[in-house]
Amino acid sequence: MAFGQSPDAGIGEAAGPDRPPPDTAAAELSDTAQEGQEDSEERERRELGDAIAALDALLEGQQVDVDATQLCGVDPVDSDAVPIRLLELRAHLEEAEGALAADRAAARRSERLRDREAPDAPTPDGEDSSSESSDDARDAVEPVPTAEPPAPSLLELRVTHDQRLIAFLEEPLDQRATAVVHDAESRRLAQELTSAVAQGAEAARVEAEARGAEERALAEAAQVSAAAARELVSERARAEALRGQLAQVTGVQAQDRQRFARMGQSWSALASEIDIVVTHGEPTPEVADALYDRSVVALGQSRGSFDRAIAIIDSPETVPVFELALDPAAPRYQSHPAEREQLLRVVQEVGETHARIAIAEQEFRWTRAKALADHVSGLDAARQQLLPRTSEAKRNRLLSLGPEGIDQLRREGYHLSLMARWYLRTRPSTLAELPSWFMGQLAHSASRWVLIQLLLLFLIVSFLIIRGEQVAQWVREALENAADTPESLAFAERWSRAVSAVALPLLALIGTYVGFSLARSLADPPELELARSIMLALTWFGLVISTIHYAIVGVTRAHRANISPAFSRRILKSVRLVAGYALFAVILTILDEQLIGRGYIQELVIEFAWIGAVPIGILIVRHWRVEITDTFIARYPGASLSRGLARARGRFWDILVLVPAGLRLLAAGLTILVEDTALRFDRIRRALAYLFRRRLERTAETIGRGTADASELPIVLRRAFGPGDLSEETKVARFSGLDEVLEAVSAWKAGGVGMSLALVGPVGVGKGAWMAELLRRAQEQESEDDPTAQDSQDAKESKESKESKESKDAPEAAPTFEAVEATLDDSLEDERAVCIALSKAFELEPAREDVESLVTVLSEMKPRLVLLNHCQNLHLRCVGGFAGVRAFAGIIRRTSQRFFWVSSFSSYSFQHMSYVAGGARSLFTRIERLEGWTEAELGDLIDQRMKRAGVVASFEDLLPPKVRGAEREAELVRTRERYLRLLWDYSDGLPRVALYYWLRSLVPIAEDTVSVRLFDAPHADDLEHIGATSRFLLHAVISHENLSIAEAVRVLAMPLDELTSLFEMLRLQGYLSRSVDRYRVTTRWDRAVVSYLRRKHLLYT
């Protein structure tokens, strides 16, 4: 159908001579549309092929002459747009792959269908089959031409294109950026070169035109007869000559642009080659060396051009200026208007051309300088990438003090000076734009909010710095008021002191991080990054100084009685001296890295920083020479270095002996510090205790061990270290949780509800002492609240009234406090036994034998504090062994509103009882667990017992050999600490075990002096010989703390006779002791048995 023709035209009509028949026209239209479709597909096929080839080149690290944004459909370095583009591509690829798979499946089905429909070729009648086979063989021998593989379909090309594009966009950002940046730079330089060539051609044309105009003007001037007209035409000829000179200047500019573009192309290509080599693989040292040499040569050329470009920015312009030699407005020229107008027109055109060329020259100077700055920076960055990849020999030469190293230093210095000149040349214009930039930021709400945050941060930090002392004091007082125990108060004091020491520099550091993070959200110029790095170095400098000073003062205070403010200031001065030198080196490396990158200067600073440390160390030593001399002589009086220090005191050469003396003292101090730090961990303390024990075992082979039989020791020692000594002289204030329990007791006495408290701890940890201290303090509280201790509720009873009256008449009498103390030593395995034992404790006559009757009586009694010891006897680890626990739990549950129950349990017994009962919280409202003591607490306990006995312990026999002078005194202190650590390790912090073995480590050497030796204690290995029955019996005794033979029969399900003989055998061997009819593990074997049973997985911590 022809364009503009009606759809019905020609139907039923004869075709004219100028119009083909309808069928012929439709066929021609169909052919035209098909050809157009084929042309479109062929064009798309070519475009896809070119794009695939470009993407393959980019993936291999090659440059392509294609716009990367147009090729990828998105800016490849846009981190926000690339993920969205990848999602679109993956969806499109999935759809295309599905369509391609469907097409291939359809093609395979069509091929199979054609194969089935093709008829077999008929064999002619009478033809010899052998000849047929021979023809087949001959045909098989003849070569068959190989068909070329079919060209990929358009759909296959689309799939391949999407796959390549996805692979390129999934590459790391730096690789994509390298390809894109160098590609854009290459195209920009190519465009610059083309523009420069065109500019040169245009300048040549203008110069030729100007020369022709000049010649015509001169010829015209020769023909003019009037003098005025001749002057005007001659002046126009001179103007045309200047136009030709301006065209020559433009041609020179074009040549400079061409030359600069070609140099830029070579430099850009080199930088691109280095980036590709480094980014897409690790170059060999030989390749890196060659590229490094080429980069140095290119840098030398570019730096020279950059230097000249900076120098000529402000140089006078080279464009000639035209000045009229006559005044066209003079009266004598008014009679020649045509010549005058032509002169004025040419002069105006020359002036405009001059202005345009002058502006272009100045713009080219700036453009060239900026481009050279980029080239120099890019080449230097590429050189720095290559430096660590060069061969070791070349790198050593470049970073040494040899000729190549000096040349490298000179080049980096030249680079630094160029960058500094360029910075000073360009940044004033940037600063001039700062006010307008700031007003522009205020116009945006997001930027306005960031500025408000910066202002608030500045005000908060300023306030805290100005009022820092007051804020620190307020925090200190708040922490001290919040502390309710001595431990928490000490913790609050320690941490408040530490926080006060580092609060201001820490605040400055946090403010610097936050402030620069906010500022970088507004703008991120190089100056901001440099200022951030320097400010962070300064604030870290302040924090490090404060922390080191606090740590040194704290360590010094731990070994000195007091530190004066003057001494603390001297320490701070020394710390600042050392840290200041380190800060100088850090800032120097920051400046070098920010301005020229990591190169020779930075390596030089890092490698030779120790040279500056030498004079710093000498100044520190001379600053502390008096303290070093006195301390060393006192610590090592017999050392040869001490005699040298004494002779060198006050001499100019004393530094020769002060340095080794100071280093030795520093090593000793660091050793003590490391040891003190390591001793904060239990495993390290136990390891050190083991090593110390090994050393003492070797010493014991010569001097012997402690006294094995305590009866051989003086009676005063045996009494002082006897069990159950709870006098004030030997008591150590180590009662965890007692203050909180006393508060609960006070609330209960004031009319509150009672409590059921379980006091849990291993044997010998001090449960009895804890309960006795609770009773004593509770009685003291009662005395403070009511000095007469008069009970008004029982005033009606004659006996109590009489006692109250006697109490009033005798104010010195001790106040009465209603408390019940009892020790449950008997087996309480059922309800009757429990009720009888509690009736005996409450002095009830007759004794109640069931829970109901006992609870009824207790409910009518006045409130009492009930202290029950050895409550582990309430249960047995056997079937039916929890009847006593259930009865006891029922009693305290129903009377805890009126009575304050405190019951002590051994650890292993309570652990099993809680597990079987479904949780200890169901039995008791509060559980207080007593843990083992520390070395310091055990030392205080031992010192108080020794002081009461009036005996001094000497550790001289345990000292290492060849220890003299002040070092001997310090070693005595450390030996005592190590021995206490050994006691702590073996006894697991249990005071009863520690006192037992301390007593047996003493050997009398004088009337009031004993020598400390290694105690003789059994270990788990000593129990490996016992049999399984003995092992289970020891486990039963440890689990119950004490056990009778009848109870052991139920627990172990063994015959009575066998158990009786086994108990007696273990008692005679010293493992068990017997009190009345109950057996328990002896103190000597307690820790060994526990360790042995843990090894056999019968006990768990």
Whole domain around residue 840: which residue ranges? 735-787+816-928
Residue 972 belongs to a domain: yes
Q: What is the pLDDT of residue 126?
A: 44
Residue 148 belongs to a domain: no
Whole-angstrom distance between the N-terminal and C-terminal Cα of the chain? 101
Distance CA 979, CA 994 (A): 11
Same domain, 820 and 752: yes
**φ/ψ (deg, to 5) at 953:** -95, 130
User: Residue 332 has which token pair?
Assistant: 């004598």
Residue at token pair 């273990």: 1066
Same domain, 920 and 1002: no
Same domain, 898 and 760: yes
The residue from 429, 458, 489 where one domain ends is 429
Residue 571 CA: distances (Å) to CA of 538, 567, 759: 20, 6, 49
Pair 453, 522: CB distance under 8 Å: no
Long-range contacts formed by 601-608: CB under 8 A, 24+ apart:
601/409, 601/412, 601/413, 601/416, 603/399, 604/399, 604/409, 607/399
Distance CA 768, CA 762 (A): 12
Residue 255 belongs to a domain: yes
Q: Where are the beta strands (DSSP E) in 620-777?
A: 755-761
Same domain, 216 and 313: yes
Residue 716 belongs to a domain: yes
497: closest CA among 546, 460, 562?
A: 546
1027: alpha, beta or left? (left if phi > 0; alpha if psi -120 to 50): beta
Q: Please report, for the domain that includes residue 752, its CATH number.
A: 3.40.50.300
Q: What is the pLDDT of residue 1079?
A: 93
Distance CA 1069, CA 70 (A): 96
> Checking DSSP bridges between strand 1002-1006 and strand 1043-1044, what pairing results, if any?
unpaired
Residue 162 CA: distances (Å) to CA of 63, 80, 87, 97, 110: 20, 20, 12, 10, 28
Does the CA dihedral 526-530-536-539 come out positive or negative?
Answer: negative
Pair 1, 33: CB distance under 8 Å: no
3 state SS of 509: helix
Q: Please report, for the domain that includes residue 1042, its CATH number.
A: 1.10.10.10
Alpha helices in 896-964 (DSSP H): 907-917, 935-949
Same domain, 860 and 978: no
Query: Helix 935-949 to helix 991-999 angle, to the nearest 10 degrees?
Result: 50
Residues paired with 1081 in a beta bridge: 1072
Residue 665 belongs to a domain: no
Q: How many CB atoms lie within 10 A of CB 440?
A: 11
326: alpha, beta or left? (left if phi > 0; alpha if psi -120 to 50): beta
Residue at token pair 């020279």: 304
Alpha carbons within 13 angstroms on the beta-carbon side of residue 910 total 24
| Residue stretches of the chain with pLDDT short of 70 | 1-38, 60-67, 77, 79, 116-151, 173-184, 280-281, 428-434, 468, 479-480, 482-494, 555-564, 592-610, 638, 676, 679-680, 723-733, 783-817, 917-922, 964-966, 1101
Same domain, 876 and 774: yes
Distance CA 736, CA 271 (A): 72
Distance CA 905, CA 908 (A): 9
Total domains in the chain come to 4
Pair 254, 357: CB distance under 8 Å: no
Same domain, 915 and 954: no
Same domain, 705 and 777: no
Residues paired with 1044 in a beta bridge: 1078
Residue 218 belongs to a domain: yes
pTM of the model: 0.53
545: alpha, beta or left? (left if phi > 0; alpha if psi -120 to 50): alpha
pLDDT digits (tens, 9 = 90+) for 99-145: 878 777 777 777 777 776 655 545 444 444 444 444 444 444 444 45
Same domain, 252 and 329: yes
User: Residue 95 has which token pair?
Assistant: 């759809």
1001, amino acid identity = S
Pair 757, 991: CB distance under 8 Å: no
3 state SS of 721: coil
Q: How far is Cα of residue 224 from the mean position of the Cα atoms in its chain? A: 93
3 state SS of 867: strand
Residue 238 belongs to a domain: yes
The residue from 964, 993, 1012 where one domain ends is 1012
Distance CA 552, CA 211 (A): 88
Strand order in the sheet with 900-906: 819-823, 865-869, 900-906, 755-761, 926-929
Same domain, 220 and 256: yes
Alpha carbons within 13 angstroms on the beta-carbon side of residue 231 total 14
Same domain, 1067 and 918: no
Same domain, 334 and 410: yes
User: Residue 623 has which token pair?
Assistant: 């600053």
846 preceded by cis ω (within 30°)? Answer: yes
Q: Where are the beta strands (DSSP E) in 843-894?
A: 865-869
Residue 755 belongs to a domain: yes
The residue from 378, 405, 429 where one domain ends is 429
977: closest CA among 564, 685, 573?
A: 685
Burial-class residue 910 by CB neighbours within 10 Å (0-12, 13-18, 19+).
Answer: buried
Distance CA 272, CA 276 (A): 6
Residue at token pair 């390749």: 287
Residue 188 CA: distances (Å) to CA of 68, 193, 194, 249, 561: 13, 9, 10, 24, 76
pLDDT digits (tens, 9 = 90+) for 864-922: 899 999 888 888 888 888 888 888 888 888 888 888 999 999 988 888 887 776 655 66
